[in-house]
Amino acid sequence: MKKYSDLEYLKLSKGKKRLYKLQSFFCAIPQKILALFLGLWNIIKGCCLKVRDEALDIYSTFVHGDWKTKVSFLVMGFGCLARGQILRGLLFLLFEVVFIGYMFIAGGYWLSMLPSLGKVGPSEEYNVIFDTYVTTYNDNSFKILLYGVLTIFFIIAFVYTWRLNVKQNKLAEQILSSGKKLRSGKDDLKSLVDDQFHKTLLSLPLIGILVFTVLPIVFMILVAFTNYDGTHDGYYNNLFTWVGLTNFNTMLSWTANTGAGTQSYAATFGEVLSWTLMWAFFATFSNYFLGMFVAMAINKKGIKLKKLWRTILVLTIAIPQFISLLYVSKMFAKNGIINGFLMSMGWIDEALPFWDKASWARITVIIINIWIGIPHLMLIATGILMNIPQDLYESARIDGANAWQQYSKITLPYMLFVTGPYLLTSFTGNMNNFNVIYLLTGGAPTNPAASSAAGTVGYTDLLITWLFKITTGAESQYYLASVVGILVFVVVSLISLVVYNVLPSIKNEEDFQ
């Protein structure tokens, strides 16, 4: 491909400019992907180097350190205690005691069971005295997996703390040898509201995220490699165990399954994915452009009652979605108000099948989503539109630009430039827009051919509602839900990566031409 310099580029005709941009966009993709892999490689290399440096540092600390430091390698916090930093020393020591105690009492067991996820399932025994079968519950796969992961987290935390302990010793030696004083426990406490204040502030939120987000996500990723479902719940009926990549094979295989539908899982997944992307595209951009349009209409000079219009629109944000969406979905039902009204006016003879035909349902969902989504965009666009310098429009008007030209040359590029990141997040947000789909249609109308883990898959089901249906379905195939979840993550992160990496190159070019 021929590369133009800036001057040559400016000389090109409009059509050729577009073509050139498009070409360079697509030519850049392989480069970007290559750069991505190179970046990954660099990260891995960096990590390896870091580990080597750390090891060397630990070694030299041990070799050159005094006896207090050397003891600290085994008894954490000894160095601190011996040098008078009582508080730090006690904390280190306490952590080590707790860790070793935990590993002996429980951690070792969980860790040793992790490879098998439990050996003995619940067993029934005949009890002669009461003349019944009594079940004894034995291993608990769920707990083994959960506490196993937790133990691994704990080990990582311990290694980190141990390393910190070694570093502390080295630092203390350096400080003492240069003749300065060490910080006392009181100073340490004081610094928690001063220069270490960020640690105090972050501790609570981060513990919450670690326990309620990171741990569950790691757990669920691991579940994708097990056979955890309603009939293998790991304690009450059967144990579950590792099955390797079987679930991914099931989800991505093209052979028809024998279950509910005749379609293969891969075909069903493909259909749901393509509708999810289609939905995200239309939902995002219909809201974006219509919301911008409404905002411009309300902001236009000479329009009165601006506040009233805005307040009316904002109602859909204020009222909880489950009320408004459930009600609207009933309005569009066969015996609902909309059909009743149309029939009483004599415009139609038969009820319109808003929710009964695939294409009808899909279009209705997108249109109702506009009702929900425009107000948000209207608010955002109002804020941004007010920031556009008015003299730009003035000079455009003097040059004889009409309304459309002003819009396409000033307003739209400005909006796109400012809201670029927002567009991306709202696209991925719409991909996971559970509420609108589930409350409006529940995924209906059902696709009879689609195979599903349990229950049904409909033509308006997004990946996220499908996931929900799998987990709440009769068989509760959690492992398939977690495969779907992982695939959702892969799709979302791929889209985000591509947009972040590829888009700015053309976006920057388009700043205000």
Partner 1 sequence: MTQNEMNQKTSGPVKQHMGLRASRMLSNSAIYVLLIAISIIWLIPFVCIVLQSFRVESTWQVGYVIPQQWGLDNYRNLFNTDFPRWYVNTFISALATAVLQTIIVLCMSYTLSRFRFKMRKPLMRFMLILGMFPGMLTMIILYRVLKDLGLTQQNSVPGLILVYVASSGMGYYVSKGFFDTIPKSLDEAARVDGATRFQVLKKIILPLSKPIVIYTILTAFMAPWGDFVFARYIAFGSSAGSNVAVGLYNWLNKDQIAKYYTTFCAGGVMVAIPVTVLFMCLQKYYVEGVTGGAVKG
Please list every residue from 262 through 301 that binds partner 1, using CB under 8 A: 294, 297-298, 300
Q: Does 435 bind partner 1 (CB under 8 A)?
A: yes
Concatenated DSSP letters of 263-311:
S-HHHHHHHHHHHHHHHHHHHHHHHHHHHHHHHHHHHSTT---HHHHHH
Query: Which residues inside 202-241 make contact with partner 1, applying CB under 8 A?
Result: 202, 204-206, 208-209, 211-214, 216-217, 219-220, 223
Query: Which residues inside 98-157 make contact with partner 1, applying CB under 8 A?
Result: 142, 146
Distance spanning both ends of the chain, measured CA to CA: 24
Q: Which of 489, 504, 506, 510 binds partner 1 (CB under 8 A)?
A: 489
Of residues 263 and 465, the one with the C-beta less far from partner 1 = 465
Smallest gap from Cβ 194 to partner 1, in A, equals 4
Query: Per this entry, what is the length of the chain?
Result: 513
Q: Does 502 bind partner 1 (CB under 8 A)?
A: no
Of residues 81 and 298, the one with the C-beta less far from partner 1 = 298
Residue pair 166/58 in contact (Cβ under 8 Å)? The answer is yes
Concatenated DSSP letters of 208-246:
HHIIIIIHHHHHHHHHTTB--BTTB-SSSS----B-TTH
Of residues 72 and 419, the one with the C-beta less far from partner 1 = 419
Report which of 97, 93, 95 is spatially closest to residue 85, judged by C-alpha positions.
93
Q: Does 326 bind partner 1 (CB under 8 A)?
A: yes
Residue pair 28/133 in contact (Cβ under 8 Å)? The answer is no
Smallest gap from Cβ 16 to partner 1, in A, equals 33
The rounded distance, in Å, linking the Cα atoms of 11 and 103 is: 72
The rounded distance, in Å, linking the Cα atoms of 489 and 483 is: 10
Residue pair 374/294 in contact (Cβ under 8 Å)? The answer is yes
Q: Does 314 bind partner 1 (CB under 8 A)?
A: yes
Half-sphere exposure of 132 (CA within 13 A, CB side): 4
Q: With CB under 8 A as the contact rule, which of the stretches 116-124, 178-186, 244-252, 333-341 interacts with partner 1?
A: 333-341
Determine phi and psi for 386, rounding to 5 degrees: -65, -20
Q: With CB under 8 A as the contact rule, which of the stretches 25-33, 34-42, 173-181, 198-206 interacts with partner 1?
A: 198-206
The rounded distance, in Å, linking the Cα atoms of 398 and 72 is: 78
Size of the site for partner 1 (CB under 8 A): 92
Q: With CB under 8 A as the contact rule, which of the stretches 67-75, 95-103, 175-183, 323-331 interacts with partner 1?
A: 323-331
Q: Does 186 bind partner 1 (CB under 8 A)?
A: no
Q: Which of 49, 94, 193, 363 binds partner 1 (CB under 8 A)?
A: 193
Burial grade of 307 (CB within 10 A; 0-12, 13-18, 19 or more) = exposed
The rounded distance, in Å, linking the Cα atoms of 80 and 92 is: 9
Smallest gap from Cβ 384 to partner 1, in A, equals 7
Of residues 111 and 385, the one with the C-beta less far from partner 1 = 385
Smallest gap from Cβ 455 to partner 1, in A, equals 15
Give the dihedral sign, CA 281/282/284/285: positive
Smallest gap from Cβ 298 to partner 1, in A, equals 7
Query: Which residues inside 335-354 make contact with partner 1, applying CB under 8 A?
Result: 335-337, 339-341, 343-344
The pattern of x and - marking residues 441 through 480 that bind partner 1 according to CB under 8 A reads ----------------------xx--xx--x------x--
The rounded distance, in Å, linking the Cα atoms of 424 and 51 is: 36
The pattern of x and - marking residues 390 through 429 that bind partner 1 according to CB under 8 A reads ----------------------------xxxxx--x--x-
Of residues 85 and 482, the one with the C-beta less far from partner 1 = 482
The rounded distance, in Å, linking the Cα atoms of 99 and 91 is: 12
Of residues 14 and 300, the one with the C-beta less far from partner 1 = 300
Bond prior to 445 in cis (omega within 30° of 0): yes
Query: Which residues inside 354-393 make contact with partner 1, applying CB under 8 A?
Result: 371, 376, 379-380, 382-384
Report which of 388, 459, 431, 158 is spatially closest to residue 281, judged by C-alpha positions.
431
